[in-house]
Structure 1
Amino acid sequence: MKLVVFGLSITSAWGNGHATLWRALCRALGAAGHRVLFCERDTPWYAGARDDLDIPGLETLVYPDWDSVRPRATAALRDADAAIVTSFCADGPAASALVQEAARPVRVFYDLDTPVTLARLARGERPDYLPLDGLAGFDLVLSYTGGAAPERLREALGARHVVPLYGSVDPDAHHPAPPLPHYAADLSHLGTYAADRHAALDRLFIDPARRRPASRFVLAGAQYPLDFPWTPNIHFVRHLPPGEHPAFFSSSRWTLNVTRQDMAALGWCPSGRLFEAASCGTPVISDAWDGLADFYTPGEEILLARDTDDVLDALDMDRAQRDRIAARARERTLDEHTATRRAAQLLNALASVRASAAA
């Protein structure tokens, strides 16, 4: 199959979780013989932090503006089997209109930010990546979030056929690796700063650092403000290249997953970082949200923390118990949460739509 994607960015992972997900999916699709053309608008913040990509079957098209790319995109759609527009695509409405006008491909919208989309709509805001007439013009809508999210997308945006397509991990890119001293941590956290999860980060990461001054905490991610409440034992990594994620996680006794407020409120929305850490064999402490138990069993494959004491109790756990939790999570991840598994689910959803159209 040939897939054409209009998305945020696959070439830069700086402050952009979409890139990691798409890279993993594209590797899995390429390994199965499929081709992907990924179109993204050039932006200065991503241009300064692009990664070298060597993914068989993937072609990237970085363009300066929509008018310049429209002819090339139109030509690409003529022999495409599926065309996908994602949330936070810089030219979402224009790309959606072009895709919906195309005769051949299955027309798909992939909302990688479903909780954000629904929360903004509930506040009376219209996300600028959505078509003005909603999602009824797409044959298939993929939602990064399960639970009640698909039905809410139908109600709020007229989506006709909605299927969850969760995050995933590429085990070849995220695996146990030799630890590095500068990433060594009793507790680590990898994530772009977001004001709506600062309270949870304060409770589950910063306060434990205050109460354990002899322990080492490592925080990696973009956009952390100058007035962030650093402590002497929190070490900061501003940009962690994707190739160093395995060493980062493998250097941690524990790593912390903190979910954004809208995602936690809706539930059934696992972060890609959760799968990455588990695939690297690192035990995970996570905030609690509905649906998490569908992905990992609390107490056996992951630990849930509601307050600082829960985190401190985990840090005091003996190594044998910690290693058992990590091993079980890695096994579950390799069984259920790989990009190969998600790519198969994507292809099955596309095939189902094509079969329905032909019936």
Structure 2
Amino acid sequence: MKIAFYGSSLVSAYWNGAATYYRGLLRALAAKGYDITFYEPDVYDRQKNRDIEPPDWCKVVVYEGTVDALQRAAKEAAAADIVIKASGVGFEDDLLLDRVMAAARPSALKVFWDVDAPATLAELRTDPALSLHGALKGIDVVLTYGGGDPVIRAYRGMGAAECIPVYNGLDPETHHPVSPDRRFEADLGFLGNRLPDREARVEQFFLEPAKRLEKQTFLFGGSGWQDKPRPPNIKYIGHVPTRDHNAFNVTPKAVLNISRSSMAENGFSPATRVFEAAGAGACIITDYWEGIELFLKPDEEILVVRDGQDLVDVLSGLTHERAREIGRRALARVLNEHTYEHRAAEADKIFRSRLHRTEAAE
């Protein structure tokens, strides 16, 4: 079966948090026999900051960031059995959704894949002019990579026929244990781009605890933080390319996951970083969000903190031996239950059952 997938970028993780999700899931679907073409616009300097070349398991079509190029790319949806428009493509998303769904054959399975449901739902609630409002009636299924029951209820309330989470996962071929790297030595590492609804939580869970733990060392990675005031025991290293993520995760005593505010409020939204770090065998400390226990067991496979004081207490008492044991347990859990092979099996089941429906209705 042919899939036409319209997303932000498959070949660049630059300002593109969905890259790991796309790569892991689509590679696993390709292994199941799907013929996939990924369409992405040339915007935000992503093509200048590629961290992989187009893979052999997926054709990548990069189109210019112009309306004409977008319309030409959208027309190619007519050749696909499954047409997928992701959220947050980054160039004329409304127009792209309209054109892609209009080009899809009546018998094609039409999917909206939301890779940031809290942000998308917030836009839908405040902007009645968004194309997605009307498009939901013609879309067969909304898939999300997080959100659980709160997101499902919200989408159904807005007219979606179905909404099903297909959560983030681990790609063991790209995220796995490696030897420590001296560049990333620290007591605690945090990796995340600067975003408006994350910044206050970074201050609460990372910057303020670092000030209070002046004898411990902190490693700060991610784009956009270069002018952010920080204490001298924090080393800022900027953007960390995907090839260095494994070493970044395994070298510090622990790594910190900080959810964006909207993700934490919705719950059931494990970031790709959680699975990447667990796949490398890292000891993960995460801020609290509802549903954590569905993915990793608190205190045994992941450490959970509710505020900056919790972070100070946990890190102060964390030994290297306990950190290594938590990392070992997390790795075993994600390999057993949370790889992209598991997620692709879910997506494959969704696709095949609903394709039969569209064929029968034709």
* Residue number in structure 2 paired with 1:111: 114
Write the distance in 2 (CA, Å) between the matches of 1:266 and 1:139. Answer: 24
Q: How does 1:298-337 map to 2 (within 5 A)?
A: 298-315=298-315, 316-337=317-338
Answer yes or no: is the 8 Å Cα contact 1:99–1:107 preserved in 2.
no
* Residue number in structure 1 paired with 2:157: 155
Q: How does 1:130-209 map to 2 (within 5 A)?
A: 130-131=131-132, 133-144=134-145, 145-156=147-158, 158-209=159-210
Write the distance in 2 (CA, Å) between the matches of 1:97 and 1:294. Answer: 36
Q: How does 1:246-265 map to 2 (within 5 A)?
A: 246-265=246-265
CA positional deviation for 1:15:
1.9
* Residue number in structure 1 paired with 2:127: 125
CA positional deviation for 1:179:
1.1
* Residue number in structure 2 paired with 1:18: 18
Give the secondary-structure state (helix, strand or coil) at the position aligned to 2:56.
coil
Answer yes or no: is the 8 Å Cα contact 2:192–2:221 preserved in 1.
yes
State the AA in 1 paired with 2:299. G
Alignment root-mean-square deviation, CA? 1.9
State the AA in 1 paired with 2:94. P
User: Deviations for 1:94-151, whole angstroms, at most 9, x for unmatched residues?
Assistant: 33223333214211000111111222333x23586x4351412111110222122112
Question: In structure 2, do the counterparts of structure 1 residues 331 and 201 end up closer, same or farther at CA, with 3 Å as the change threshold?
Answer: same
* Residue number in structure 2 paired with 1:292: 292
Write the distance in 1 (CA, Å) between the matches of 2:277 and 2:201. Answer: 19
Give the secondary-structure state (helix, strand or coil) at the position aligned to 1:45.
coil
The 10-residue stretch of structure 1 (265-274 or 113-122) with the greater mean CA deviation from structure 2: 113-122
User: Deviations for 1:139-190, whole angstroms, at most 9, x for unmatched residues?
Assistant: 111022212211211112x111111111122111001111111111110111
The 10-residue stretch of structure 1 (193-202 or 267-276) with the greater mean CA deviation from structure 2: 193-202
TM-score (norm 1): 0.93
Write the distance in 1 (CA, Å) between the matches of 2:73 and 2:310. Answer: 54
User: Deviations for 1:64-96, whole angstroms, at most 9, x for unmatched residues?
Assistant: 12322434542x334322110011122333332
Answer yes or no: is the 8 Å Cα contact 1:147–1:291 preserved in 2.
no
CA positional deviation for 1:299:
1.1
CA positional deviation for 1:225:
5.6
User: Deviations for 1:261-315, whole angstroms, at most 9, x for unmatched residues?
Assistant: 1111111111010110011100111111111111111111111112333223332
* Residue number in structure 2 paired with 1:245: 245
* Residue number in structure 1 paired with 2:352: 351
* Residue number in structure 2 paired with 1:233: 233
State the AA in 1 paired with 2:198. R
The 10-residue stretch of structure 1 (175-184 or 203-212) with the greater mean CA deviation from structure 2: 203-212
State the AA in 1 paired with 2:286. S
Write the distance in 1 (CA, Å) between the matches of 2:179 and 2:12. Answer: 25
Identity of aligned residues (%): 35
CA positional deviation for 1:47:
3.0
Unaligned runs of 5+ in 2: none
Give the secondary-structure state (helix, strand or coil) at the position aligned to 1:326.
helix
Write the distance in 1 (CA, Å) between the matches of 2:127 and 2:187. Answer: 41
Query: How many residues are aligned here?
Result: 354
Answer yes or no: is the 8 Å Cα contact 1:15–1:223 preserved in 2.
no
Write the distance in 2 (CA, Å) between the matches of 1:241 and 1:81. Answer: 34
Answer yes or no: is the 8 Å Cα contact 1:120–1:127 preserved in 2.
no
Give the secondary-structure state (helix, strand or coil) at the position aligned to 2:179.
coil
* Residue number in structure 2 paired with 1:281: 281
Answer yes or no: is the 8 Å Cα contact 1:82–1:108 preserved in 2.
yes
Give the secondary-structure state (helix, strand or coil) at the position aligned to 2:49.
coil
Question: In structure 2, do the counterparts of structure 1 residues 66 and 206 end up closer, same or farther at CA, with 3 Å as the change threshold?
Answer: same
